[in-house]
């Protein structure tokens, strides 16, 4: 067969095309192989918003148990900017985990619970627009509202990496943090489903956040268990002195953590314990003459919060309020604010028009008596207001160490009904402040030194005349330039 023949030329051309196709395919196959196994990524953004911190990458590298992250965002979710931020960050977690090769422990899925209800039920993720972290039998949920620091109604910082890394470490740890609720002293109970006294909704919310919740009667057990991360008492009445002493020893000798929600009209029996921690519990019932701070049902509407404490900072950022029924006053002891090793903070307070009625047992109608009743003072913090929630922690330097060690934390609310079933259902602020208090007491989400990511916003402000000129430029300017180029090409070819 001669190579100059038509048939030979056709076969050579066909073989050439086949070889080009093979080379083209192998070239891109090799590029993909190199990209998967020997990839480099560069974050050119000013604040490195698409790069995980070294601390997070270190945790992911040493992760022992696989964690499945499921984001259940729907197409009609209002805040699509948040969805974009969350998806971008979750992809970074998946990529950082895949870089570990066979030891990759993070799996990320995006699921619409309405379009895939069967798969959602199998995974146990029935709530839309939520990020679930699942590891074995442990599960924790994070909502988009937990991921932003809001100032003046505007998002200023993205806290996603802090929240996601804390959730991964939480569910992948071998054990759950255990919370004990006191019983045996007249407290509200976890198994009670009644609206005004039951805590069943709170119990479910805590379990959903990967806490192990149990009850304990210190009058029979005689000691706070060693595995207790937190002890909670809701509306204790005339606590036995032995039980009070056990709680005092738990706080002082074992760096314990305690949350108290005290009821009105009955003594709690915890005065010595509260005095040890610089908390002034006053047997009054708070009333407010300003209708703006009282609901139609007569409940108090609490709007004043500490702006710097982690328990209440998010309430200010999200513009949340508390709704409580009868409550008593909880304030720091002025004499123990300094020199006692205690850091005492008023978390929530009434308005300046509120007062605490002392003789509520003798009066049928609440009327302020300046000679007997309690008012806020200019020296109080906050000024001229009555506190209803206080946090206290003891920090001491041990021996000759150059740093301090936290020895205990306690949070006291003057409203026993703050977290009963109907309050949690009616007020997001009630649930938020209590869950924040739980997280603060057990040191959850506070041990990570991961900086928040600032949110950069760029806005183009144009006047009406500038917008009109821009519109005409897009309508006529761009087509006119294309027409001129076409005429120039035509003229060149013509001549």
**Do residues 388 and 264 make contact, with C-beta atoms less than 8 angstroms apart?**
no
Q: What is the pLDDT along the chain (495 residues), one digit of tens a residue?
A: 555 666 777 888 888 888 888 988 898 888 888 776 666 666 666 656 667 877 788 778 878 889 999 999 998 888 888 888 899 889 888 888 876 666 678 899 999 988 888 988 888 888 899 999 998 888 888 888 888 877 777 787 888 888 888 888 888 877 778 999 999 989 999 999 999 999 999 998 888 777 889 999 998 988 899 999 999 999 999 899 999 999 999 998 888 999 999 999 988 899 999 999 999 999 999 999 888 899 888 899 999 999 989 899 888 877 889 999 999 999 998 777 666 788 999 999 999 999 999 988 887 788 888 888 899 888 888 889 999 999 999 876 544 444 344 579 999 999 999 999 999 888 888 988 998 899 899 887 555 556 677 776 555 556 677 778 888 888 888 888 888 888 888 888 877
Torsion of Cα atoms, 474 then 480 then 481 then 484, to 10°: 170
> What sign has the CA pseudo-torsion 81, 85, 88, 90?
negative
What's phi and psi for 136, nearest 5 deg?
65, -125
Could you write out the DSSP letters of every residue in 433-494?
A: HHHHHHHHHTTTTSS--PPPEE---------HHHHHHHHHIIIIIHHHHHHHHHHHHHHHHH
CA pair distance 233, 345, nearest whole angstrom? 20
Q: What is the pLDDT of residue 303?
A: 93
Cα gap 118→115, rounded to integer Å: 9
DSSP string, 292-329: GGB-TTS-EEE-EE-SSSTTTHHHHHTT--EEESS--E
Residue appearing with tokens 């002493």: 245
Task: Please spell the DSSP secondary structure of 197-266, one letter per residue.
Answer: T--HHHHHHHHHTTEEEEEE-HHHH-S--TTEEEEEEES--S--HHHHHHHHHHHHHS--EEEEEPPSSS
Reduce the DSSP state of residue 304 to 3 states and report it.
Answer: strand
CA distance 433 to 431: 6
Residue closest to 71 by CA, chosen among 87, 88, 85, 50? 87
Half-sphere exposure of 298 (CA within 13 A, CB side): 7
How far, in Å, are 217, 274, 406 from residue 245 at the CA level?
14, 12, 21
Between β-strands 177-182 and 228-234, what pairing exists: parallel, antiparallel or unpaired?
A: parallel
**pTM metric for this prediction:** 0.69
Tokens (6 digits) for 137: 């039998």
pLDDT at 339: 64
38/36 Cα distance (integer angstroms): 6
Rounded CA gap, 351 and 347, in Å?
13
Per-residue DSSP letter, 476: I
Q: What are phi and psi of 145, to 5 degrees?
A: -70, -15
- As a three-state string, the secondary structure of 413-439 is ECCHHHHCHHHHHHCHHHHHHHHHHHH
Contact 409, 440 (CB under 8 A): yes
pLDDT of residue 98: 77
Report, in this order, helix, strand and coil percent for the chain, each rounded to 5.
35, 20, 40
Q: What is the token pair recorded at 73?
A: 């965002």
Cα gap 110→83, rounded to integer Å: 11
**What pLDDT was estimated at residue 446?**
52
Query: What is d(CA 119, CA 114) in angstroms, rounded to the nearest whole number?
Result: 10
Question: Token digits for 338?
Answer: 């300094």
pLDDT value at residue 62: 76
Helices (H), 99-210: 117-123, 160-172, 200-208
pLDDT score for 344:
92
The answer to whether 446 and 224 have CB atoms below 8 angstroms apart is no
- Kind plus residue range of the DSSP H or E element containing 18: helix 6-37
């Amino acid at each position: 067969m001669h190579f100059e023949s038509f048939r030979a030329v056709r076969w050579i051309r066909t073989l050439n095309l086949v070889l080009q196709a093979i080379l083209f395919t192998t070239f891109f196959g090799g590029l993909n192989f190199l990209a998967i196994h020997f990839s480099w990524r560069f974050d050119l953004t000013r604040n490195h918003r698409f790069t995980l911190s070294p601390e997070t990458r270190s945790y992911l590298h040493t992760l022992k148990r696989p964690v499945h992250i499921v984001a259940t965002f729907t197409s009609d979710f209002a805040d699509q900017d948040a969805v974009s931020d969350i998806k971008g960050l979750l992809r970074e977690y998946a990529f950082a985990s895949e870089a570990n090769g066979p030891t990759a422990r993070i799996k990320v899925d995006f699921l619409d619970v309405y379009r895939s209800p069967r798969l959602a039920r199998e995974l146990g993720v029935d709530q839309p627009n939520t990020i679930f972290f699942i590891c074995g039998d442990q599960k924790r949920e994070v909502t988009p509202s937990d991921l932003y620091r809001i100032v003046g109604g505007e998002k200023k910082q993205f806290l996603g990496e802090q929240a996601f890394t804390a959730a991964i470490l939480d569910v992948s740890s071998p054990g759950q943090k255990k919370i004990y609720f006191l019983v045996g002293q007249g407290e509200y109970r976890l198994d009670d489903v009644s609206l005004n006294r039951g805590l069943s909704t709170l119990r479910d919310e805590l379990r959903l956040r990967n806490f192990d919740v149990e009850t304990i009667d210190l009058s029979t057990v005689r000691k706070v268990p060693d595995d207790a991360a937190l002890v909670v008492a809701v509306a204790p009445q005339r606590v036995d002195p032995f039980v009070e002493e056990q709680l005092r020893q738990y706080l002082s000798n074992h760096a314990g953590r305690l949350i108290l929600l005290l009821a009105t009209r009955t003594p709690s029996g915890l005065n010595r314990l509260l005095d040890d921690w610089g908390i002034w519990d006053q047997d009054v019932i708070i009333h407010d003459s300003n209708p703006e701070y009282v609901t139609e049902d007569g409940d108090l509407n609490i709007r004043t919060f500490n702006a710097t404490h982690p328990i209440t900072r998010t309430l200010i950022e999200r513009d949340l309020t508390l709704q409580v029924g009868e409550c008593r006053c909880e304030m720091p002891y002025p004499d123990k604010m300094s020199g006692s090793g205690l850091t005492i903070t008023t978390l929530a307070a009434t308005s300046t028009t509120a007062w605490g009625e002392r003789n509520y047992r003798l009066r049928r109608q609440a009327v302020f008596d300046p000679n007997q009743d309690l008012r806020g003072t200019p020296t109080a913090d906050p000024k001229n207001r009555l506190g209803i929630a206080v946090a206290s922690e003891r920090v001491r330097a041990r021996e000759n160490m150059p740093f301090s060690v936290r020895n205990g934390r306690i949070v006291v609310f003057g409203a026993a009904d703050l977290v009963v079933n109907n309050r949690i259902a009616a007020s997001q602020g009630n649930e938020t402040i209590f869950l924040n208090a739980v997280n603060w007491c057990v040191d959850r989400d506070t041990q990570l030194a991961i900086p928040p990511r600032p949110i950069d916003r760029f806005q183009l402000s144009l006047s009406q005349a500038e917008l009109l000129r821009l519109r005409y430029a897009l309508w006529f300017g761009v087509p006119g330039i294309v027409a001129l180029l076409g005429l120039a090409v035509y003229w060149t070819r013509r001549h």
